[in-house]
Structure 1
């Protein structure tokens, strides 16, 4: 497959492979993104039941924003994750914690485990590269994540990666012409650059 998009970040992770982060193309990536967000395991992503066109429209809208960005993450050329970053002060999460200079919010949806055989250490290798991109590549001081409190797998995954648990919060409902987000009970967690990359 020919690729005309610029790779915004690339890292070779020992024993894992080459991870590339590319700006999401709402049209070109619609098929893979829709297939992932439509799965029952992705219910916490909030797009179950949406059509291919609706998902495409959401990411086309996101692509117009200066504060929120979406990326397709590939490992050795194969799509393995959907990464979204956002400025916390421009997001509802800012109503639930004190935003610090250098904070960046992250949402992460992993490809189905069967696509990579559920290999031990796979998620850790991928998150290492993504953390490097967000903290070093984007020059940020701290990542904030806000998984649904009922999404125990995601909460545990961030904990294993060194994220420090923050407060349990209720993210308020957002009901705008272009965006609707229901109220969400979330477990905030934080990862500082000096913790992820000591020394």
Structure 2
């Protein structure tokens, strides 16, 4: 990464910043649809990200999707940095304002999440790396935002994502069919999803 790019990230305000001993510093930045479109497009265009449904889109298409999300009060996108380098795409949403609400009983304090972790790249594969990153993100949503339960809805075929949530302590719920969404600004095909839940007490028992 060039110094110019690093400086650009450093100048942006984070909604959450946390240092983990032996891991590094994680910063959670509100997604800038225009500035971050190139890196997000690169990630969602990889075959391993097929379940995100964005393969074949242009960087402009990706920018448009997140520019629309930025107009919503209920859905939010974030660029996650680890020691100044882009490491993940993180999204939060209000389940009551999402199609998932048609598939389970939403409780007060629920918050939904989606997570796409970048390839290991130069850092190499390190066991537990994603778990530590998720610990920071769970700290943000469960402690900083004071939510009481996290809801995840990965595609049931995405066994890696389902396994990741299980290793993080999530409890599996039912497999559900998320209905198609066909609106002028948003299209989401029908999806078979594996619901998973994690409460604040389960994530942070002490």
1:46 Cα deviation after fit:
1.1
Note if 1:161 corresponds to 2:168: yes
1:116 Cα deviation after fit:
2.9
1:124 Cα deviation after fit:
1.0
Q: Where does residue 5 of structure 1 map in the other structure?
A: 12
1:4 Cα deviation after fit:
3.0
Kindly report which structure 2 residues correspond to 1:22-41, keeping only aligned pairs within 5 A, or say none.
Answer: 22-41=29-48
Count of matched residue pairs: 199
Q: 2:82 aligns with which of 75, 84, 87?
A: 75
1:121 Cα deviation after fit:
1.3
* SS, match of residue 133 in structure 1: helix
**In structure 2, what is the Cα distance between the partners aligned to 1:33 and 1:40?**
14
Q: Where does residue 118 of structure 1 map in the other structure?
A: 125
Q: Where does residue 21 of structure 1 map in the other structure?
A: 28
**In structure 1, what is the Cα distance between the partners aligned to 2:123 and 2:53?**
24
**In structure 1, what is the Cα distance between the partners aligned to 2:12 and 2:64?**
20
Note if 1:96 corresponds to 2:117: no
1:164 Cα deviation after fit:
0.4
**In structure 2, what is the Cα distance between the partners aligned to 1:143 and 1:184?**
19
1:65 Cα deviation after fit:
0.5
Structure with greater helix share of residues: 2
1:125 Cα deviation after fit:
0.9
1:112 Cα deviation after fit:
1.0
| Segment of structure 1 superposing worse, 140-149 or 113-122 | 113-122
Where do 5+ consecutive residues of structure 1 fail to align? none
1:113 Cα deviation after fit:
2.5
Where do 5+ consecutive residues of structure 2 fail to align? 1-5
1:42 Cα deviation after fit:
0.3
Note if 1:139 corresponds to 2:146: yes
Q: What is the RMSD computed on CA atoms of the aligned residues? A: 0.8
* SS, match of residue 160 in structure 2: helix
TM-score by length of 1: 0.98
TM-score by length of 2: 0.95
Q: Where does residue 127 of structure 1 map in the other structure?
A: 134
